[in-house]
Amino acid sequence: MEPDFVSWRGHRVHIKVTGQGHPPLLLITGLGGSTDQWTPFVQQFQHRCVIRFDVPGMGLSSATYAPIPVAGVADLAVAVLDWLGVPCADVVGYSYGGAVAQQLAFAYPERVCRLVLAATNCGVGAVPGSYAAMASLSTPLRFYSETYFDRTAAELYGGMTGRDLSMRRRMMAERHRHPPSAYGYSMQLLGTVGWSSLPFLSRIPHDTLVICGDDDPLVPVVNAETLARRIPRARLEIVKRSGHLFLWDEAKRLSVRVTRFLDATAGTSLAEPITQLV
């Protein structure tokens, strides 16, 4: 399939759509990420229409010369849905993409059917990860150097990627396909400065799955607990021995959990909040 592009605020934004099935599933990735990195997860959803896009400065999208704030990327997500003629989608936001997904659900609630927040936090007010993990996150070197990725994977990502050399090699191959530019990565980091969902979490009306791994050095479990406690209709799942990249390095296991949530909440109406620990 040839890549598709949409024009947005002077940027040429790459989008990728696969499969069929309603409602579509919109995937929003983490810092430096591209549509390629979702491949293992998307392969588990053969009977769903899955939508992915590259934030400007990432993947195949055009470069950006100024930071795009989280709210701006949420606007971009809406523009992608508009271009595809999609009124409402189930949304999976991973890490940085989880921040965008929270903003999207708050600012455009009618465009979100159900919400999945994976390995993410509330921004300002969150509990930071380990010093080593946060230091590694500050540079895109892991997208360029296999040696650096291999050396820092355990302290940055934990989970299967940290434990399994063959998994790290697969991750390295996917990351090197369309790595972000150093400048684009810096602009994406700057776009997160000052953002926080704490003021509006209680006004997110959707059935929401907050899911995290208990071996994630970058986003401690307490952050997922905060999101689940403050979002009225949230369900919390803590996945044992999983790390920050669990949607990709344990794609089959995690897709089952996401599908179970989407199936269980299909057609539900506003009711009592749902919270559970798994």
Span 46-95, pLDDT tens digits? 899 999 999 999 999 999 999 999 999 999 999 999 999 999 999 999 99
Altogether, the residues listed in the chain come to a count of 278
Backbone angles phi and psi of 141, in degrees to 5: -55, -30
Q: How far apart are the first and last CA of the chain?
A: 38
Instruction: Tell me the C-alpha distance between 217 and 1, whole Å.
Output: 37
CATH number of 4-265, picked from 3.90.1150.10, 1.10.357.10, 3.30.465.10, 3.40.50.1820? 3.40.50.1820
Instruction: Tell me the C-alpha distance between 91 and 83, whole Å.
Output: 17
Query: Is the Cβ–Cβ distance between 36 and 177 less than 8 Å?
Result: yes
Q: 99, 138, 131, 114: which is closest to 227 by C-alpha?
A: 99
Q: Can you name the residues that pair with 16 across neighbouring β-strands? A: 52
pTM listed for this prediction: 0.93
What pLDDT digit, counting tens, does each position of 29-47 carry?
Answer: 999 999 999 999 999 998 9
**pLDDT of amino acid 273:** 40
The ranges of the chain with pLDDT < 70 are 1-3, 267-278
Return the number of other C-beta atoms located less than 10 Å from residue 41's C-beta. Answer: 24
Instruction: Tell me the C-alpha distance between 226 and 158, whole Å.
Output: 21
**pLDDT of amino acid 178:** 87
Instruction: Tell me the C-alpha distance between 252 and 42, whole Å.
Output: 10
Residue type, 83: W
**pLDDT of amino acid 270:** 39
**pLDDT of amino acid 176:** 80
| Positions marked active-site | 95
**pLDDT of amino acid 54:** 97
CA angle in degrees (0–180, nearest 5) for 247-250-253: 95
**pLDDT of amino acid 172:** 83
**pLDDT of amino acid 277:** 38
